[in-house]
C-alpha cells in the first residue's frame, strides 16, 4: 500500500464513510494542481454538489431541533455553520489540508491552511461521500462533522463574525480590546497575509488571501483560546 493510499485510508477512517478512491482523489484535487498537470479534472463540480448536501442537512437539523426559533434566527445559524470560516475549522479538525493536491505556488504560499481552500475541499469531500455512500450516509457525515458548531450557540456568532465576538468577549473579561498586526508576502497577483491578534494575554495568528480573511482567522483562534480559558 502506497503512502498516499495509506494517508487517504486514514482520512476515510476519520470520516467514517467509505468513499470511492477515484472520487476521493478528485475531491482532493484543487484547480491549481489540475492546471499544472495538463488541465485534468478538479474538485469544483463535487464542491457544488457538497454545498447543497451541507445546506440541506444543516437546515433540516436546525428546523427540527429548534422549533422555538423563527425564520431569521434559523437562517443566521445556518449561515454561520456553513460559512467558510466554520467549514475551514471543521476541515482542520480532521487534518484535511495535508491531503489536498495543490499547485506548487499555492502550496508554497500556505494554501493548505487557507480557509477558502479548506472549506471548498470539505464540500467536495461531502459530494464524493454522497455519490459513494448515498444521501443518508452523506447527511450523517455532515451532522457528525458540524455537531460541535450546532451544539454551541455562541460559536455560531464567532464563526460568522469572529472579530466582533472576540471584542465582545474581551469586554466581558474586562481586558483591553484586541489589537491586530498584519504582514504580507508574495507577488502582487498572489498576496498572502498573516494577521496576529493580541488580547488579554492571548496571542493568535491567522493567514489568508486578504487582510480581512487573515484577521478573521486570527480572531476565531483567539476567541476559542479565550473561551476555553474562561
Residue 168, marked binder: no
Gap between the Cα atoms of 154 and 173, Å rounded: 15
d(CA 142, CA 179): 35
Q: Which three cell numbers stand for residue 143?
A: 451532522
CB 178 within 8 A of CB 156: no
- The length of the chain is 230
C-alpha closest to that of 24 among 38, 37, 13: 13
**Looking at 89, 106, 123, 161, which residue is catalytic?**
123
d(CA 23, CA 131): 8
**Which triple of cell numbers denotes residue 227?**
473561551
Residue 228 in marked binding region: no
- Under a CB-based contact definition with an 8 Å cutoff, are residues 20 and 128 in contact? yes
168 is catalytic: no
Active site residue 123: yes
Report in angstroms the alpha-carbon separations of 9 from 16, 30, 70, 110.
Answer: 10, 19, 42, 24
- 120 labelled binding-site residue: yes
Report how far Cα 37 is from the mean position of its chain's Cα atoms.
26
Which residues participate in the annotated binding site for Mg(2+)?
47, 120, 123
Active site residues: 51, 123
Which residues participate in the annotated binding site?
47, 120, 123
Amino acid at each position: 500500500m502506497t503512502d498516499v493510499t495509506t494517508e487517504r485510508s486514514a482520512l476515510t477512517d476519520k470520516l467514517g464513510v467509505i468513499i470511492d478512491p477515484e472520487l476521493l482523489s478528485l475531491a482532493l484535487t484543487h484547480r491549481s494542481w489540475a492546471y499544472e498537470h495538463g488541465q485534468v479534472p478538479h474538485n469544483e463540480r463535487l464542491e457544488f454538489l457538497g454545498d447543497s448536501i451541507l445546506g440541506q442537512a444543516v437546515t433540516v437539523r436546525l428546523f427540527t431541533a429548534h422549533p422555538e426559533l423563527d425564520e431569521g434566527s434559523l437562517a443566521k445559524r445556518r449561515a454561520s455553520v456553513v460559512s467558510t470560516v466554520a467549514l475551514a475549522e471543521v476541515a482542520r479538525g480532521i487534518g484535511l489540508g495535508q491531503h489536498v493536491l495543490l499547485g506548487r505556488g499555492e502550496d508554497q504560499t500556505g494554501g493548505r491552511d487557507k480557509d477558502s481552500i479548506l472549506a471548498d475541499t470539505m464540500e467536495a469531500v461531502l459530494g464524493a461521500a454522497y455519490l459513494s455512500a448515498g444521501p443518508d450516509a452523506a447527511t450523517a457525515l455532515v451532522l457528525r462533522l458540524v455537531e460541535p458548531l450546532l451544539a454551541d450557540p455562541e460559536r455560531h456568532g464567532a464563526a460568522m463574525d469572529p472579530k466582533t465576538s472576540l471584542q465582545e468577549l474581551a469586554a466581558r473579561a474586562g481586558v483591553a480590546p484586541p489589537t491586530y498586526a498584519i504582514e504580507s508576502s508574495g507577488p502582487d497577483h498572489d498576496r498572502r497575509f498573516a494577521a496576529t491578534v493580541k488580547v488579554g494575554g492571548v496571542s493568535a495568528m491567522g493567514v489568508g488571501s486578504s487582510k480581512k480573511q487573515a484577521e478573521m482567522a486570527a480572531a476565531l483562534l483567539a476567541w476559542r483560546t479565550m473561551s476555553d480559558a474562561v
